[in-house]
Amino acid sequence: MSLVVLLGGARSGKSQLALQLAERAQAPVVFLATGEARDEEMADRIAHHRQERPASWATVEEPVELEQAVIGVDGTATLIVDCLSLWVSNLIERRPTPEIEAAAAAAAQVAAGRPGLTVAVSNEVGLGIVPLNALARSYRDVLGRVNALWVAAADEAYFVVAGQTIKLEELT
């Protein structure tokens, strides 16, 4: 069917839009969660997000091996990948940048090749100030490239701001 990428800031409405797109697809839904509960606050966030999803949806929790997780989902199901920004965060101190970008490109190609709808969610973190430390700058840069790889593989991409969407189009 297609790969749709939703980019935007924190609490912009990306994940809510992904849920709506999945419901409209009228197919079984698999929610691929990349977040890791490394502290109590994150555990609470994950629990809250689980409660937001319909009980009939399957959940796959995979913080690192994104490509394999996408491969493991039934191709006819609608797949929500939420989110690429947490996935990059999970990898940034574990793997060198070229490996992260190669893994992102491979996962994006697998997602784009699925017959069912895939909706990938990611934060856009490059619109603010230049981060003060090297790790934060590296994260911003890597996530920007990962987002670009996924958007390049996508059939459609949207920037979500305050619950509203702007369609992203390649200037030719």
Q: Is 121 helix (H, G, I), strand (E, B) or coil?
A: strand
CA distances from 75 to 2, 78, 120 (A): 11, 8, 15
Q: Give dist(CA 120, CA 64) in Å, integer.
A: 15
Helix (H) or strand (E) holding 68: helix 66-71
For 152, counting Cβ atoms within 10 Å of its Cβ (0-12 exposed, 13-18 middle, 19+ buried), the class is middle
Residues acting as catalytic residues: 49
